[in-house]
Each structure stands twice: as C-alpha cells, then as structure tokens.
Amino acid sequence: MQESEQIIRTEYSELMQKSYIDYAMSVIVSRALPDVRDGLKPVQRRTLYDMHELGIRHDRPYRKCARIVGDTMGKYHPHGDSSIYEALVVMAQDFKRGVPLVDGHGNFGSIEGDGAAAMRYTEARLQKITQEAYLADLDKGVVDFVPNFDETEKEPEVLPVKIPNLLVNGAEGIAVGMATSIPPHNLSEVIDGVKAYMKNPDITTEEMMEYIKGPDFPTGGIVVNKDDLPGIYEMGVGKVKIRGKVEIEQAKGGRSRIVITEIPYTMVGANIGKFLMDIYHLVESKKASDIVDISNQSSKEGIRIVLDLKKGADAENLCNLLYKKTRLEDTFGVNMLAVADGRPETMGLIPIIRHHVQFQYELATRKYRTLLEKELEKKEIQEGLIAACDVIDLIIEILRGSKNIKDAKDCLMNGNTEKIRFRYKGSEADARQLHFTERQASAILEMRLYRLIGLEIEALLKEHEATLSNIADYEEILGSRVAMAKVIIKELTRFQKEYGKPRKTAVENAQEAVYEEQKAEETAIVALVDRFGYVKAIDAAVYERNKEAADAENRYVVPCMNTDKLCVFTDQGQLHTVKAMDLPYGKFRDKGTPLDNISNYDSSGETMLYVGSVGGLRGKMLLFASSGGMVKQVRGEEFDVSKRTTAATKLNEGETLLFVQPLAGTEEESVVMWTEKNLFLRFLASDVPEKKKGAVGVRGMKIDGKDSLKGVCLLQGEEKTVEANGKEVALHRLRLANRDGKGVRKA
C-alpha cells in the first residue's frame, strides 16, 4: 500500500525568501567571490588542482585545454565548460593578470579584445610559480580535502598558496547583491608588505604603503590620485583614477604626434576599439580638428596608438581633451570584497594581509607537524635497523628457526621464543631480551642483506644523524612562532628573488586635465530634420543652392550659426537641446543621424512638435497649446538653457502638448482650435496672455467632457483649410470670437 503524502502548509513568501537566500549564498561563496586565503574563485582553484592531478607540470608537454576543461567539469566543477575555459584563458593572459598561473600555447586572445581560440585548438600547462607557490605541499596534509559534487572524488577546500594572490592578481566578480573588484599589485612590493606586517603586526595602512605603493596593472599606465590611496586601502572601497602613458614625438615638417604606449587597465579588450571610435567622433564633430590621422600600430611588442597632428597644433591641450572625453583617463572602482571565515567581507589592505599571514602560519604548522611525524617514524625505524646490525647473527638464527613471519615478528617484538628452534645454546636467552617496536620489527624483516655491508651501515648512521637534525629543526619551528616566521619569510624572499618584476604602473598626484576649448570660427549653417527624425547640418551656401529640395524633403529647416543650439519641443512637454557642433556636418545628400543618438530625445516615447534654434527664438514669443485646451505665450529667451533636457511647459494630469510655434507678432494674427466633434473657435493671438514656461497657461477653448481637442493652427495672414467630416473648412473665414468660448460647429 502506497504511503500517504504529507502536505506541509507554509507561507509562500517565507519559502521564497529562504530559497533565494540559499541560492544567493551559494553564488557568493561557491562561485563569484574569491577566498581571502588563496585569492581564488572555486572554478580557478578546481582548474589548477585538476591540472596538478593530471601532471601537467611546467617542464612537461602541453595538454589540450579541452582535456583539462572536460576533466575539471567531470570531477569538480559541473557548471558548464564555457566558465571553466574562460577562467583558464584569463589565468594565462599576461595583460589581465600580474602573475599568470597558466602557460598557454596557441591563441589565448589579445589585449585588443580578440577572443581565445576554441578549447580543442589551444593547449596549456602550469607555470613554474603555480607549482611552487600554489600547489606545493598538497601531499603534506596542509589543507583539508572535501568531497566533490557527487562524492566520488576529493578536492582541496583551499589551495596552499604561499604568496598573497588576492592582492597580486586581484579579482573581479559579480555575485547576488554584491560585487568584488580588487586591482592587481606588484609581487615584490606585496611580499615586502607581508614581511613588514610579520615583523610589526601593529603597522598602519600609511606605513604599509611605504612598501605597497599602490595598484600595479599589467598594462602599466599612471595612477593619478595618489593621495586618495590611503583612504581606499583603509576602507577597501574607493576609486582609482588611471591614465594611459602618452608621449609627444616630433615628426617631419615641424609636425608633432601623440603616441599612446600604455593604456588604462579598464581599456583592455573591446574598449580599445571604442577609444579609437571616440577619437574619430571628436575629429568628426570638429572638437579635435587638429588630429589628421589615427593609426593603431600595436603589436606583440606592446601598445602603440599614433595620432598625427596638424602643424602648430597644441599637443598638450589635445592630450587633456583625450583625458576628459575618452577612456584614456578612466576610473577603476575598488571594492575589496572576499570570502573570509565562510562569509563575504569588505577588507582593507591590512586585514587582507593579516588573513594571509594567519593562513601561512596554519599551513606551516600543518606542514611541519606532518614532516615531524614522518621523521619520527624514520628515526624509530633507523634506530631499529642500527640495533639489528649489532645482533644480526641472532636475528638470522631466529629467522631460520621460525616456521612463519608471525612467530619471528613475535620473537623480535616480545622476546617470545616458544615457537623458535635455536641452533646454539645461549641464543634463546639473548632472544628473550629483544624488544623491537612493530615498525622496527617489520623493517628488520624487510631488510635486504646488502644493508649489512660496512659502507651501508655508515650511510645508515649518517642518515640517522640527519633525521635527528631534522627532528630538532622541526620541533624548534613548531615550538617557536619566531622560528616559524623566519621560515615563512625565507620562502617569501626566494619567491621574490625568482619571480619579482619591476613595477609597471606609476603612482603620482597629477593635476586634473583642463581642456581649453578652442573657439570655433562662427559660420552660418542650416540644420535639417527629415520626417524620420534624422538630423544633419549643411553649409548655408549649400542650402541656398538646394533650397527647393531641402524645403520639400525636410520637416524642419532651421538656419542658425554653428555656435548655436537646437531646441526640440515634444508632446510630453519636454525641451531637448543639441549643440549645433554635435550635429553631423556634411553634404546635402548625406543621410544624417537619428536625433535620438545625439540628444535625450526618445522617438519611441515622444513626438517632435517643433524644432528651432536658441538664436532664432530670441526676441520672439512662442504659442503653446495643450490637449486640454490650455494656451499661453512664452518668451523665447526662457529656452536658452544649459541642460540637455528640461521641462518646456507645465501640463495638467493626463494632458499632452499639442502645439508649439513662434508668433509673428502682427495685429491680425489669430489662433484656431477645433475638437473631435468639429467645434471650431478662432480668436486673436493677442488675447493669449504671456506666462512663464513653468505655468500651465489659461483656457483657450471650453471643451465638453465627451469631446477632446483635435488640432490647433496659427493664422498669420495666409489662407488655410482643414477637413471635417469630408468637407473643407476654411480657417481664415471663421468669425473671430473671444478666447475661452465653446466655438461653432462646422460640417
């Protein structure tokens, strides 16, 4: 009989909350954030351990990355091959890691954003430093091993990393509700900092920064806010400003060129292409018109981006423009978040080093305990063999008189002679005096006869002396924290000498880049906006030659100066401004650029009602009319604003802006408003009062609750007609009435 199901009733929100927290903690601890002890994320740790297990050492042949990825995924990391291969690739890229942990063979991507080849083509093996500083001593029980995901294998909980990898290689990761971003540092400086902390645990952050000057990015560059670093390293949070390294070279003909030889770390990858496009746009928009050519001459030897300048160009000023307008000066957001004692924690420089040093003491303690146990075992066996050499004749007699190994072993350990036949009198009495340990007895029984040679006995005695010396050394290290610190420092110094490299990133206090914008020569242009919302600027003379076509093909034709700004009024009551300099300048038949791309105007959510220029609106009054029948006049000067987007008018709830147009200012100028029910009202424009742009206005026409305003027209002496119920209504023939009337029905 099937057992009845038990239904547990619970609050759904509580269940969701618990499940989400469990998921979030899993992502935080088991995927996205590095451990403060070894500075590695789980995927990196498992990949390195798998390579170690596969025996892919630095002095052995490369192995296919597909083999490494497959083995790692099958044994330790069942989260997809792409994440494992991506981690493997990054650990091999010297432009992303201060100390690459993997030696890659094949196409592992480039600094310019080219991706690595597929894993079936590339090969890899461990770097020498990875074996010596990251994976050594795993056989000495220095770290705990835990079951893998299906409990068929064991994997290390943490790797026994002997250098502060979290600082040396940095880390980047996005978890749930938190992210880590730790810059890389110089190996030699960080080791000096660790040694300084071990000698003085009360060292301050500022004192520590005498050793660790600041971040050391593999791409070089210059950190320009040195004074901010102590605060960043104290709290573990802040912003590091980095600039590329720029040189100004003299070319032929008295010209100069700007050469970028190092880039900010944040520009690695596709951002180099974006940087070049940003320069191109600056040139196109006439902001950097002194740049005549851009060439990327980067190669395997390093970065070299060359900007050729016009004769007499101000190179220093152009450099400042690049700092201000491109990613040649960028910000690296620091958030030194890592998993410490099983939970995420934001730490400053000193706490990270403190955790590292505590981990080193733990590793050293476990290592030397294991070594001491092994040496004590060797000592016990060696003492047994030495003692056995002195009574070897008796031992041989015992072995020849024994029926089996068990009886012989019993005699050697306990002096039990009952089951042993002795050849010589007195031997039995001597045998009863034997009291070897079990290990010693086993070693004696396994001993080969060549060990009885005199030289071999001497070698055994020397080996015993070395064992006693090792035991004394290990006991001293385990019994004294000072002695253990010396051992750790000695090993760190060896790594420093063998793998340390000079700093690549300069750290200084640089003045903020100030760009003196050269005043452009004022020229007359015409801005054209077509019915699809594409905008462009052409020379006024070009417009005059193509006036008919330009007026026919474009919705708005706005004559202005190149130093002016365009004003775009929309049905949502917004005013978007665009500098005329930002408009694409070209030939009459050029397509132009969507207005959305160069302003905050959103063609999907608002409709353009009128486009003018700030200069063209000065001294004029603009008529505004809303869908609720509200009207007002506003001075054009009010729309000369510095903001890219601002409110052009105030609207009642549920209303939209229906009409915006400059007034001619004539006495006969009139406004016509009509509704969906074909009610028409015409009144003089002079009846509409002047208001501020922040006002709603006054009622222009009374509209029935079941009706709505359909259109508004400004008559400036011309004849205009609209269609109502299939009939033409001549607006200029409508009788003038007072503002705020109901209007007359037509058609």
DSSP codes, 382-420? HHHHHHHHHTHHHHHHHHHT-SSHHHHHHHHHH---TT-
Residue 727 belongs to some domain of the structure? yes
Domain with residue 739: its CATH number is 2.120.10.90
What is residue 4's predicted lDDT score, i.e. its pLDDT? Answer: 66
Same domain, 732 and 633: yes
Question: Is residue 418 scored above 60 in pLDDT?
Answer: yes
Q: List Cα–Cα distances, 2 to 5, 7, 9, in angstroms.
A: 9, 15, 22
The torsion of the CA quartet 216, 221, 226, 232, rounded to 10 degrees, works out to: -50
What is residue 519's predicted lDDT score, i.e. its pLDDT? Answer: 61
One-letter identity of residue 688: V
Residue 35 belongs to some domain of the structure? no
| DSSP for residue 698 | E
Domain with residue 421: its CATH number is 1.10.268.10
Angle, helices 42-53 vs 81-92, to 10°: value is 80
Question: Is residue 504 scored above 60 in pLDDT?
Answer: yes
Same domain, 595 and 624: no
Is residue 121 flagged as an active site residue? yes
User: Does residue 529 contact residue 238 with C-beta atoms inside 8 Å?
Assistant: no
Lowest-pLDDT choice from 33-42, 276-285, 558-567, 626-635: 276-285
Residue scoring higher pLDDT (417 or 130): 130
Buried/exposed 535-567: b ≥16 CB within 10 Å, e otherwise: bbbbbeebbeebeeebeeebebebebbbbbbbb
Question: Is residue 377 scored above 70 in pLDDT?
Answer: yes
What is the Cα–Cα distance from 193 to 199, expressed in whole angstroms? 10
Domain boundary among 108, 141, 160: 160
Domain with residue 145: its CATH number is 3.90.199.10
Cβ burial of 634 (10 Å; 0-12, 13-18, 19+) is buried
What is residue 394's predicted lDDT score, i.e. its pLDDT? Answer: 87
Domain with residue 265: its CATH number is 3.30.1360.40
Residue 212 belongs to some domain of the structure? no
Q: What is the pLDDT of residues 68-119, one digit of tens each?
A: 999 999 999 988 899 999 999 999 999 999 899 999 999 999 998 888 999 9
Rounded to 5 degrees, what are φ and ψ at 211? -100, -50
Question: Is residue 48 scored above 70 in pLDDT?
Answer: yes
283: pLDDT confidence band, cut at 50, 70 and 90?
confident
Q: List Cα–Cα distances, 561 to 169, 533, 692, in angstroms.
A: 53, 21, 27
Same domain, 395 and 415: yes
517: pLDDT confidence band, cut at 50, 70 and 90?
low
Residue 121 belongs to some domain of the structure? yes
Question: Is residue 64 scored above 90 in pLDDT?
Answer: yes
Q: Which of 565, 371, 400, 557 is nearest to 476 (CA)?
A: 371
Residue written as tokens 């060292």?
203
Same domain, 625 and 702: yes
Residue 169 belongs to some domain of the structure? no
Predicted TM-score (pTM) of this structure: 0.72
Residue scoring higher pLDDT (30 or 486): 486
Q: Which of 72, 78, 40 is nearest to 54 (CA)?
A: 72
Q: What is the mean pLDDT of the chain?
A: 89
Question: Is residue 687 scored above 90 in pLDDT?
Answer: yes
Relative to beta strand 337-340, strand 123-126 is unpaired
Same domain, 622 and 604: no
Q: What is the pLDDT of residues 536-571, one digit of tens each?
A: 999 999 999 999 999 999 999 999 998 899 999 999
Same domain, 307 and 383: no
What is residue 747's predicted lDDT score, i.e. its pLDDT? Answer: 65
What is the Cα–Cα distance from 737 to 734, expressed in whole angstroms? 9
Cβ burial of 163 (10 Å; 0-12, 13-18, 19+) is buried
Enclosing domain of residue 133: 40-160
561, β-bridge pairs: 524
What is residue 153's predicted lDDT score, i.e. its pLDDT? Answer: 92
Q: List Cα–Cα distances, 261 to 99, 185, 222, 299, 404, in angstroms.
A: 21, 20, 12, 11, 80
Residue 139 belongs to some domain of the structure? yes
Average of per-residue pLDDT across 260-281? 88
What is residue 455's predicted lDDT score, i.e. its pLDDT? Answer: 64
What is residue 399's predicted lDDT score, i.e. its pLDDT? Answer: 85
What is residue 3's predicted lDDT score, i.e. its pLDDT? Answer: 58
Structural domains counted in the chain:
5
Q: What is the pLDDT of residues 215-263, one digit of tens each?
A: 999 999 999 999 999 999 999 999 999 999 999 988 887 789 999 999 9
Same domain, 666 and 725: yes
Domain boundary among 123, 140, 160: 160
Residue 289 belongs to some domain of the structure? yes
As a whole-number percent, the residues of the chain with pLDDT over 70 amount to 96
What is the Cα–Cα distance from 131 to 163, expressed in whole angstroms? 12
Same domain, 62 and 146: yes
User: Does residue 258 contact residue 250 with C-beta atoms inside 8 Å?
Assistant: no
299, β-bridge pairs: 302
The DSSP annotation for 119-147 comes to TTT-EEEE-HHHHHHTSTTGGGT-S-EEE
Same domain, 577 and 652: no
391: pLDDT confidence band, cut at 50, 70 and 90?
confident
Cβ burial of 204 (10 Å; 0-12, 13-18, 19+) is exposed
What is residue 2's predicted lDDT score, i.e. its pLDDT? Answer: 54
Same domain, 389 and 447: yes
End-to-end CA distance of the chain: 84
1: pLDDT confidence band, cut at 50, 70 and 90?
very low
Among candidate residues 23, 121, 280, 424, the one labeled active-site is 121
Same domain, 374 and 475: yes
What is residue 388's predicted lDDT score, i.e. its pLDDT? Answer: 86
User: Does residue 566 contact residue 595 with C-beta atoms inside 8 Å?
Assistant: no
User: Does residue 288 contact residue 310 with C-beta atoms inside 8 Å?
Assistant: no
3-class DSSP state for residue 695?
coil
Q: What is the pLDDT of residues 303-327, one digit of tens each?
A: 999 999 988 888 888 898 999 889 9
Same domain, 601 and 622: no
User: Does residue 661 contact residue 611 with C-beta atoms inside 8 Å?
Assistant: no
Q: Which of 51, 99, 55, 108 is nearest to 77 (CA)?
A: 51
User: Does residue 732 contact residue 665 with C-beta atoms inside 8 Å?
Assistant: no
Residue 23 belongs to some domain of the structure? no
What is the Cα–Cα distance from 560 to 540, expressed in whole angstroms? 9
One-letter identity of residue 351: P
Residue written as tokens 């209007």?
743
